[in-house]
Structure 1
Amino acid sequence: MCEPMDSSFDSKIDGVQNQSSPQTQPAGGSATQTVMISSPSVGDSTNVLKPANSFTPLLRPGSMVMMTLTEEDYEMQYWPKLKTAIDQLLNMKPGAYIPISYEQMYSCVYKCVCKQFSERLYNDLLNHLSTHMEYLNSELKIHEGKTIPFIETFSFIMHQYLQALSGIVPIFNYMNRFYVENKLKTDLNEELRKLFRLKVVDVHITTLITMLYEASLVPFAISPPTMASVMKNLYALNEEYSKLNPHLFSRYLPNILPPTDPALLDQYAEEAHQIQEHIAGRNDFKSHESSRKRVFEDDISVN
């Protein structure tokens, strides 16, 4: 499962010097290469000849083969480091920067996977994110019944979570390649997006769509960038959400509604008329008399 380890060896050992003895050609024989090994004894200058093929190279210190990883190591060292990095990414404000050593985090994941902790690491990741989503639901619950605060809070936490995935998934890339994709036959990024859909979006989607529709009837009640971001992210998470209110999604995304049918022109005209009546009937709607002249129109020269 692990990547091929570095197979280099130390070629220098204290007290060993490689030298080639003078080559001689005895009758019926060939030249013999020897290694001269200096005796470590003080004052002893005797050189001992030893055949070169008897030299046994040593494995480089720190090799992955020699490393062990116990459950205690995992629980006390490796997972706490990874969990801290995950929390930093989950709570990072959009556009902010957090100094995280991706090399160090990737190394932790690599060692855990190589030492057969892949399944536990994957489950710990999902469980920790599930706990975070319980916190997100509690934040949304505070704004229940308040259209604008609820939509703005939902937009923020959804954007924040999707942004965090762009940092979490690369950290666990080695686990994704050798466990999630190879054994579970899925993809880590998709699994973490699915988790957010099930734990957060699906819980609030009916209320959210209703609020989004109500807010869309009041111009600029929610800023256009926020509305567009919510609709696009919802559709990216699950295209089926658009079926809850196709007309609402069609204002921000193409190809949601079926192509225009000339046979339904009368129906389209009636729908447009109903929308106009609804807008005109609102208390905050201000209209102007069409018969009024434009300002300074009399001063415009016609010559």
Structure 2
Amino acid sequence: MEEESMEEEGGGGCEAMMDDQNHNNWGAGGYGRHLLGPAAAPLGDRLLRGAAAAAAGPPAGPELPAVPEANGVLRGCEPGAAAAAGKGGAGAIAAAININASTSKFLMNVITIEDYKSTYWPKLDSAIDQLLTQSPGDYIPISYEQIYSCVYKCVCQQHSEQMYSDLIKKITNHLERVSKELQASPPDLYIERFNVALGQYMGALQSIVPLFIYMNKFYIETKLNRDLKDDLIKLFTEHVAEKHIYNLMPLLLEAQSTPFQITPSTMANIVKGLYTLRPEWVQMAPALFSKFIPNILPPAVESELQEYAAQDQKLQRELMQNGFTRGDQSRKRAGEELTYNGSSACASSRGYR
């Protein structure tokens, strides 16, 4: 089935279709008149009038011309056939309704469940695969407009439930593979690989969620009272983070005690990511989380100022041991170099102030 261009949003067409009662009762009497105009009455209505007239007897005037069907397939309705149909009573009415429904499907370009499975979902499946496995900065050769249009049409044809189920199953299978790969990682690569998996998935959500915005609006928010992004983040939490948190946290604490064992950006990404997934994990290592998340620890008190100063001095020594220098000290202003020896300390302190 050849893809068509997505309909304009301004008409509110999809919103009107979302109502179940209206959605399940589309007929040529409404949608067909909208497409063809008032001059093209539905074929089923004409057949019903023709059958009733034939049952009453042949017309006194000349024979009426054949009535073309809206889709151009049926060219006319023979008077004899109409009379025969009229003798059938209910059979003629049923036949007219069937033809009317057939015309309606043609006009609406109905997407059946078979069409969805064979044509529409494969396109979405392939695009999701590429988005989930792309590296940051990679170019993905997919048409976002085409994928957006696929989702829009499937939602309007009431395939939202099936599409949501397929999406969750697809991403769940992907995350289970990611979890198995992490389990096979050696300890020295574990943190880095977890960081890559987390960043890759969160990056993919920035494209996947907007592509499924119509499904989110008209199905997930309306009928499930949830949000697609929250559901997909929960999937990563359940299938990856929860399974690895107790192996990951000791490695993070060890890396924290050994400066530059992993890069600061990697540590920050993981800690902030874990906090986003489940804030209560802060209780496992409050000191670690407090370095990257504000207001984790209670406010500082005066009695602990000496301890904070000692920690700062220790950090400075570790930086110098790893090759970081304090830079050119000759450009300091007078009074900025504080000493702590008797009166000179007081004098310099006053001068600094």
Same topology, TM > 0.5: yes
Q: Which residue of 2 aligns with 1:19?
A: none
Q: Which residue of 1 aligns with 2:122?
A: 80
- 1: CA distance between counterparts of 2:252 and 2:163? 38
The counterpart of 1:140, out of the listed 182, 187, 196, is 182
Deviations for 1:228-285, whole angstroms, at most 9, x for unmatched residues?
111111112221122210101112222111111335568x479959x96xx99xxxx9
Deviations for 1:17-69, whole angstroms, at most 9, x for unmatched residues?
xxxxxxxxxxxxxxxxxxxxxxxxxxxxxxxxxxxxxxxxxxxx999961212
Q: Which residue of 2 aligns with 1:99?
A: 141
Q: How does 1:209-248 map to 2 (within 5 A)?
A: 209-248=249-288
- 1: CA distance between counterparts of 2:116 and 2:284? 45
| Amino acid of the structure 2 residue aligned with 1:176 | N
Number of matched pairs: 232
Q: Which residue of 1 aligns with 2:150?
A: 108
The counterpart of 1:181, out of the listed 221, 227, 231, is 221
Change (3 A) 1:286 1:81: closer
- 1: CA distance between counterparts of 2:136 and 2:127? 16
Change (3 A) 1:63 1:258: farther
| Amino acid of the structure 2 residue aligned with 1:199 | H
> Residue 252 in 1 paired to residue 292 in 2?
yes
Q: Which residue of 1 aligns with 2:79?
A: none
Change (3 A) 1:249 1:3: same
- 1: CA distance between counterparts of 2:165 and 2:273? 26
In structure 2, list runs of 5 or more residues that go unmatched: 1-12, 18-30, 41-102, 323-353
- 1: CA distance between counterparts of 2:160 and 2:253? 44
Give the percent of matched residue pairs that are identical in Structure 1 and Structure 2. Answer: 45
| Amino acid of the structure 2 residue aligned with 1:3 | E
> Residue 2 in 1 paired to residue 14 in 2?
yes
- 1: CA distance between counterparts of 2:242 and 2:299? 29
Change (3 A) 1:90 1:229: same
- 2: CA distance between counterparts of 1:258 and 1:64? 67
| Amino acid of the structure 1 residue aligned with 2:148 | Y
* Aligned-residue offset at 1:181: 0.5
Report SS of the residue matched to 1:2: helix
TM-score under structure 2 length normalisation: 0.59
- 2: CA distance between counterparts of 1:73 and 1:130? 24
> Residue 159 in 1 paired to residue 171 in 2?
no
- 2: CA distance between counterparts of 1:160 and 1:234? 14
Q: Which residue of 2 aligns with 1:21?
A: none
Change (3 A) 1:142 1:63: same
Change (3 A) 1:4 1:185: closer
Q: Which residue of 1 aligns with 2:23?
A: none
> Residue 203 in 1 paired to residue 203 in 2?
no
In structure 1, list runs of 5 or more residues that go unmatched: 14-60, 288-303
Q: Which residue of 2 aligns with 1:25?
A: none
TM-score under structure 1 length normalisation: 0.68
| Amino acid of the structure 1 residue aligned with 2:234 | K
- 2: CA distance between counterparts of 1:71 and 1:166? 28
Q: Which has the higher helix share?
A: 2
* Aligned-residue offset at 1:99: 2.5
- 2: CA distance between counterparts of 1:269 and 1:175? 52
| Amino acid of the structure 2 residue aligned with 1:67 | N
- 1: CA distance between counterparts of 2:221 and 2:106? 23
Change (3 A) 1:256 1:180: same
